[in-house]
């Protein structure tokens, strides 16, 4: 029995080696490092985004329009880190170059839907910051419950218009690409869906967000010129300071996703798998840092995090002055 055991083992290893022709074949240490890195990101990203959602829910931050949008965005980040990164960890661990097509179609659809949801949240946050600083009356109208609910529904539903068709191979397709060990766009399917998704889900929102924050910057510059010194405690000063924090969040997201989307458009055949992997890793890393930015740049978030982690939650938080839906709210 022992001799049969030892004679069978080399045959299995040799067959696996012969069947696998990708760059990572035999590179178990590299795949282990990638697996450990993704596990760390999965834990930190899930924890950070979930804590952000709970800190908002159990504090008076939940009465702020901006914080409601941040909470919804953080929930999307939590789903991304907990679902997509955990699935990616399993793929790295199995060292597999064959994944069921149905599983990959679902995983690809969920992945790109959540990316689109996060991007649309950043767009609506920029819109609300822009209205809060430039058109306060329109901001009050958009802050009413009905308009806010419609905004949230759009953030979650609109990306599905581009991700559901390829999930069912109606328009484009998702497939496991063994060269980059990920469920992503099928290089043999219609590429118009990929182009439309990148355009509508990344390029257009980036241009819109840039315009919003550019206008906010112009208002801030004019305010600086009018005042002898900056008065940060004024409503407009608080709104601009909050806008600066959200601009930082967008800038981080842009840095993390821009290389990935550019590479997906320019390298549709996945000729440079290493570049696909490091750009994906970069985007995953930056999905996890939003709670850190909130903590460093906003005192109210620091207080909410501290109270929640210390178990000092507000069971019946009161609405603070200036933070209701119908007024110009600052966090």
DSSP conformation letters of 263-287: HHHH-TT-S-HHHHHHHHHHHHHHH
Q: Which pLDDT score is estimated for 236?
A: 63
Q: How confident is the model at residue 318 (pLDDT cuts 50, 70, 90)?
A: low
- Determine, yes or no, domain membership for 131: yes
In a domain, 259, yes or no: yes
Question: Which pLDDT value is given to residue 42?
Answer: 92
Q: Read off the pLDDT band of 301 (50, 70, 90).
A: confident
Predicted pLDDT at 217: 82
How is residue 164 written in tokens? 């559901």
Full-model pTM: 0.83
The whole-angstrom separation of Cα 155 and Cα 71 is 13
What pLDDT sits at residue 19? 64
- The larger pLDDT score, comparing residue 224 to residue 51, is at 51
Mean pLDDT estimate for the chain: 81
Confirm whether 15 is domain-assigned: no
The answer to whether 275 touches 263, Cβ cutoff 8 Å, is yes
pLDDT of residue 112: 93
Confidence of residue 231 (pLDDT cuts 50, 70, 90): low
Domain of 173 in residue numbering reads as 27-309
CA–CA distance, 106 with 123 (Å, rounded to integer):
26
More confident residue, 79 or 187: 79
User: Residue 223 sits in a domain of what CATH number?
Assistant: 1.20.1070.10
Q: Kindly state whether residue 99 falls inside one of the protein's structural domains.
A: yes
Q: In total, how many domains does the chain have? A: 1
What is the tens place of the pLDDT at every residue in 237-265?
A: 666 777 777 788 788 878 878 888 888 78
- Quickly state the pLDDT bin for 291 (edges 50, 70, 90): confident
Percentage of the chain lying above the pLDDT 90 cut: 33
Q: Is residue 220 part of a domain?
A: yes
Asked if residue 40 is part of any domain, the answer here is yes
Q: Is the pLDDT of residue 29 over 90?
A: no
Buried b (16+ CB within 10 A) or exposed e, 265-300: eeeeebeebebbbebbbbbbbbbbbbbebbbebbeb
Give the Cβ contact number of residue 217 at 10 Å: 15
Q: In this structure, is residue 22 part of a structural domain?
A: no
Nearest residue to 130 (alpha-carbon basis) of 243, 45, 293: 243
Question: Which class for 6: exposed (0-12), middle (13-18), buried (19 or more C-beta within 10 A)?
Answer: exposed
Can you give the pLDDT at residue 322?
40
pLDDT at 168: 93
**177 occurs within a structural domain:** yes
């Amino acid at each position: 029995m022992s001799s049969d055991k030892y004679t069978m083992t080399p045959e299995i290893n040799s067959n696996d080696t012969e069947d696998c022709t990708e760059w990572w074949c035999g590179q178990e240490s590299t795949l282990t490092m990638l697996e450990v890195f993704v596990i760390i990101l999965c834990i930190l990203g899930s924890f950070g985004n979930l804590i952000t959602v709970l800190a908002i829910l159990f504090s008076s931050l939940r009465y702020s329009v901006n914080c409601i949008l941040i909470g919804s965005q953080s929930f999307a980040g939590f789903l991304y880190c907990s679902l997509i990164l955990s699935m990616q960890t399993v793929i790295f661990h199995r060292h597999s170059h064959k994944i069921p097509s149905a599983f990959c179609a679902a995983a690809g659809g969920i992945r790109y839907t959540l990316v689109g949801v996060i991007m649309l949240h950043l767009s609506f946050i920029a819109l609300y910051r822009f209205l809060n600083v430039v058109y306060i009356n329109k901001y009050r109208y958009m802050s009413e419950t009905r308009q806010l609910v419609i905004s949230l529904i759009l953030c979650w539903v609109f990306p599905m218009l581009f991700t559901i068709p390829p999930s069912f191979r109606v328009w484009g397709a998702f497939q496991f690409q063994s060269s980059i060990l990920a469920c992503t766009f099928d290089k043999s399917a219609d590429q118009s869906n990929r182009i439309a998704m990148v355009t509508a889900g990344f390029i257009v929102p980036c241009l819109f967000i840039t315009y919003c924050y550019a206008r906010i910057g112009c208002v801030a510059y004019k305010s600086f010129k009018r005042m002898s010194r900056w008065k940060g405690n004024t409503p407009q000063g608080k709104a601009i300071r909050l806008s600066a924090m959200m601009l930082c969040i967008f800038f981080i997201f842009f840095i993390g996703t821009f290389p990935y989307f550019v590479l997906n458009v320019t390298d549709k055949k996945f000729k440079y798998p290493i570049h696909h992997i490091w750009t994906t890793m970069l985007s995953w890393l930056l999905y996890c840092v939003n709670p850190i930015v909130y903590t460093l740049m906003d005192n109210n978030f620091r207080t909410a995090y501290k109270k929640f982690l210390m178990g000092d939650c507000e069971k019946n938080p009161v609405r603070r002055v200036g933070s209701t839906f119908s007024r110009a709210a600052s966090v």
